[in-house]
Amino acid sequence: IALGCDHGGYELKLEIIKYLEKSGLEYKDFGCDSMASTDYPIYAKKVCEAVQKELDSSFGILICGTGLGMAMIANKVEGVYAGVCHDVFSAERLRKSNDAQVITMGARVIGPELAKTIIDAWLKSEFQGGGSTPKVQQMRDLEAKSFHPEK
Ligand code: RB5
């Protein structure tokens, strides 16, 4: 699991790290490393480029103030799909229906206990295929067309 945050998400990321360690889950922290003001695109890019290298086996968690900027940047990295989740149901659907590898959250929106519960639900969920497959495929097709218009 690749982890990243900006200053707005730094404290929540530390809580999430404690949770991942307690759960025995492997992670790599891509920064930032303090509450000093910084730019969320830097960390979204680092995390998503790491996820991009192992699309089928790696996941990413990105935390900023709202989760919004992180998700917007993450979805600009080819092959990487991300969604903002502030509730358990959406977190499950993000894997089960949308097959996204990256979850983003806003530390100014939810507290650490809910964030950990959301991550837990997300990690326990897998893409279910079925009726979701053609929709995810359409997303991939659209992505291929916009990233490679020459083809
Ligand atoms: C703070 O820079 C804030 O804009 C950021 O954490 C995030 O909420 C952006 O989407």
Helices (runs of H) and strands (runs of E) counted in the chain: 6, 5
User: Within its chain, how far is the Cα of 21 from the centroid?
Assistant: 18
Q: Report the pLDDT value the prediction gives residue 88, as an integer from 0 to 100.
A: 98
Q: Whose CA is nearest to atom 7 of ligand 1?
A: 65
64 counts as catalytic: yes
pLDDT digits (tens, 9 = 90+) for 35-89: 999 999 999 999 999 999 998 779 999 999 999 999 999 999 999 999 999 999 9
The number of the ligand 1 atom at minimal distance from the alpha carbon of 8 is 6
DSSP state of 26: -
pTM, entire model: 0.96
Residue 64's Cβ-side half-sphere holds a number of Cα atoms within 13 Å equal to 21
Q: Quick one: pLDDT band at residue 113, thresholds 50, 70, 90?
A: very high
